[in-house]
């Protein structure tokens, strides 16, 4: 039986200077690249396909299949674009990965580029993590100097170049076609599909957009074999992933485990709930995935089990909220976020998130009207499936799921403010009274 936790990408994050090429090579770094270069590109693609790895960015589309759906080579450029725009509320796996172990991504890019016939790959990093950008720039520089990138990768004659590109603050750029528009120097707004990026992506050329963790998992699959990868996880959700616990657990943190681990196991590893308080609700994969409650603690955290239970595995961004938290306040703040980040391209999302925000705000303030809950659900119904991209759909998830499990709290919002029902100071992680008084002293 596989161990509860399986440190692979996180294996040497505690090494001094874990981010350097020297450390990476000490831990078998770039062996997979040499092995891949000894294979035919289609064999490399076949190994990834055979591993059944599903995209780690949230949607869970099989990575190898995505590659094989790219239009066949026509002699023109083909692109690999890594989506490192990690911005989904609650998601915090790619940023620590790139900070501690950037070479796993660089090696993954080199191998994946070889597999799909890409000579110039891009890593689109959100701009708000400048030290991660430094680490990636440095890793590319080191890899190039060592001959792992460039015109003649490891003496094979293969060419792979990487440009690491910093965004400038826009959640929507995590949507793959918005990301491509942004990378082309435009406003980051999603494109109509089809054509899919595999046919016409970056500069209208065949392009694969993949998540950081998906690409960083490729070296392991090549070096250890697809059976090794399939030896972890479940039959339909193979392999391992980084699970990010945050919020009201005793010890928040990152846990690399086979897919299928349960929230009960993870909360236990995190030292249980803060101060022995009771769990109220949690997100399995970020704010865009419908919330879960205590009844879902034993749902295996794999793509299909989470979907069957009414949510999505997403990015394994497990945000935990205890009994002190107003679900209305939490959802209201997420709704602010979606309204702020809606790109404005399509009407249901642009107008709908604005109205959702008005209504959520008044419910939070105890000023909801009799028909506000029905109105919320009606607006959600008009956004879901009618928006241009998944952002609109995502904006409805917290609302509809919270109404489903905690309808009475929304009803109370017709007369009682959330902060009266759930005093916010009970939820914070520091002692509010002493902090506030000392804050005043220094003011």
Partner 1 sequence: MSADPNETWNASGFLHVSPESKRPYAADVLESLHADAAEIIARYPQKRSALLPLLHLVQSVDGYVSGRGVSFCAEVLDLTTAEVSGVATFYTQYKRHPNGEYTVGVCTNTLCAIMGGDQIWDTVSEHLGVGHDETTGDGKITLERIECNAACDYAPVVMTNWEFFDNQTPDSTVKLVDDLRAGKQVAPTRGPSRVCTFKEVSRVLAGFDDGLADEGVGAGPASLLGLRIAKDNGWVAPEGGDSAGSGTASSTDRKDGSQ
- Whose Cβ is closer to partner 1: residue 206's or residue 370's? 206
CA–CA distance, 131 with 122 (Å, rounded to integer): 18
Within 210-315, residue ranges assigned H as helices are 212-216, 218-224, 226-230, 263-269, 303-308
Name the phi and psi angles at 87, rounded to 5: -140, -5
Nearest to 63 by CA among 255, 191, 273, 218: 218
Looking up tokens 């392009």 gives 207
Interacting residues with partner 1 between 18 and 57 (CB under 8 A): 18-20, 31, 35
Nearest to 405 by CA among 304, 307, 330: 330
CA–CA distance, 130 with 128 (Å, rounded to integer): 6
**Contact call for residue 107 and partner 1 (CB under 8 A):** no
Find the binder of partner 1 among 152, 251, 358, 369 (CB under 8 A).
251
**Contact call for residue 433 and partner 1 (CB under 8 A):** no
Q: Compute how many residues bind partner 1; rule: CB under 8 A.
A: 116
Tokens matching residue 111: 């191998």
**Contact call for residue 439 and partner 1 (CB under 8 A):** yes
Interacting residues with partner 1 between 131 and 160 (CB under 8 A): 131, 133-135, 137-138, 141
The distance of closest approach from Cβ of residue 221 to partner 1 in the complex, given in angstroms and rounded to an integer, is 9
**Contact call for residue 436 and partner 1 (CB under 8 A):** yes
Find the binder of partner 1 among 91, 305, 353, 401 (CB under 8 A).
91
- Whose Cβ is closer to partner 1: residue 52's or residue 371's? 52
The distance of closest approach from Cβ of residue 315 to partner 1 in the complex, given in angstroms and rounded to an integer, is 10
Interacting residues with partner 1 between 204 and 233 (CB under 8 A): 220, 223-225, 227-228, 230-232
Query: Of the ranges 65-73, 190-198, 351-359, 433-441, which one interacts with partner 1 (CB under 8 A)?
Result: 433-441
Find the binder of partner 1 among 127, 150, 195, 366 (CB under 8 A).
127
**Contact call for residue 302 and partner 1 (CB under 8 A):** no
Site string for partner 1, 61-90 (x = CB under 8 A): ----------------x--------xxxxx
Query: Of the ranges 8-16, 305-313, 373-381, 403-411, which one interacts with partner 1 (CB under 8 A)?
Result: 8-16
240-247, strands of its sheet edge to edge: 253-258, 240-247, 317-322, 279-283
- Whose Cβ is closer to partner 1: residue 210's or residue 427's? 427
Interacting residues with partner 1 between 180 and 199 (CB under 8 A): 182-188
Helices 327-341 & 390-412, crossing angle to 10 degrees? 150
Q: How far is CA 133 from CA 96, 106, 130, 140, 365, in A?
A: 12, 13, 5, 11, 40
- Whose Cβ is closer to partner 1: residue 187's or residue 193's? 187
Interacting residues with partner 1 between 253 and 292 (CB under 8 A): 253-257, 269-270, 287
Look at residue 113 and give its three-state secondary structure: helix
- Whose Cβ is closer to partner 1: residue 206's or residue 220's? 220
**Contact call for residue 95 and partner 1 (CB under 8 A):** yes
CA–CA distance, 174 with 112 (Å, rounded to integer): 20
Q: How far is CA 47 from CA 154, 218, 228, 412, in A?
A: 21, 9, 11, 55
Query: Of the ranges 5-13, 37-45, 359-367, 403-411, which one interacts with partner 1 (CB under 8 A)?
Result: 5-13
Burial class (CB in 10 A: 0-12, 13-18, 19+), 322: buried
């Amino acid at each position: 039986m596989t161990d509860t936790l399986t440190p692979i990408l996180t294996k040497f994050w505690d090494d001094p200077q874990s981010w350097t090429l020297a450390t990476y090579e000490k831990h078998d770094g770039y062996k997979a690249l040499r092995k891949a270069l000894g294979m035919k590109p289609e064999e490399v693609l076949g190994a990834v396909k055979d591993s059944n790895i599903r995209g780690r960015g949230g949607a869970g589309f099989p990575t190898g299949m995505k590659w094989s759906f790219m239009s066949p080579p026509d002699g023109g450029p083909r692109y690999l674009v890594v989506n490192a725009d990690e911005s989904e509320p609650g998601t915090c796996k790619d940023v620590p990965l790139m900070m501690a172990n950037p070479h796993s991504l660089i090696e993954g890019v080199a191998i994946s580029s070889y597999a799909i016939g890409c000579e110039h790959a891009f890593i689109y990093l959100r701009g708000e993590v400048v030290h991660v950008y430094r680490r990636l720039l440095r890793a590319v520089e080191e890899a190039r100097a060592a001959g792992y990138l460039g015109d003649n990768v490891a003496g094979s004659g293969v060419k792979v170049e990487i440009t690491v590109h910093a965004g400038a603050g826009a959640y929507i750029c995590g949507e793959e076609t918005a990301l491509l528009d942004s990378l082309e120097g435009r406003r980051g707004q999603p494109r109509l599909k089809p054509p899919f990026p595999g046919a016409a992506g970056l500069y209208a050329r065949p392009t694969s957009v993949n998540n950081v963790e998906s690409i960083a998992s490729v070296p392991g699959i090549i070096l250890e074999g697809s059976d090794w990868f399939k030896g972890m996880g479940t039959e339909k959700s193979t392999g391992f992933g980084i699970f990010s616990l945050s919020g009201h657990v005793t010890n928040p943190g990152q846990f690399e485990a086979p897919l299928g681990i349960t929230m009960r196991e993870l909360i236990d590893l995190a030292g249980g709930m803060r101060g022995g308080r009771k769990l109220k609700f949690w997100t399995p994969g970020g704010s865009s995935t419908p919330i879960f409650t205590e009844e879902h603690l034993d749902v295996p955290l794999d793509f299909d089990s989470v979907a069957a239970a009414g949510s999505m595995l997403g990015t394994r961004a497990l945000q935990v909220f205890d009994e002190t938290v107003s679900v209305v306040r939490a959802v209201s703040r997420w709704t602010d976020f979606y309204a702020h980040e809606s790109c404005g391209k399509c009407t249901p999302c642009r107008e709908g998130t604005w109205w959702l925000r008005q209504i959520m705000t008044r419910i939070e303030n105890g000023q909801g009207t009799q028909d506000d809950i029905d109105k919320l659900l009606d607006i959600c119904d008009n956004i879901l499936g009618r928006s241009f991209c998944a952002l609109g759909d995502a904006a409805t998830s917290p609302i509809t799921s919270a109404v489903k499990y905690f309808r009475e709290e929304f009803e109370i919002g017709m007369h009682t403010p959330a902060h009266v029902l759930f005093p916010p100071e009970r939820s914070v992680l520091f002692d509010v009274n002493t902090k506030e008084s000392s804050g005043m002293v220094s003011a």
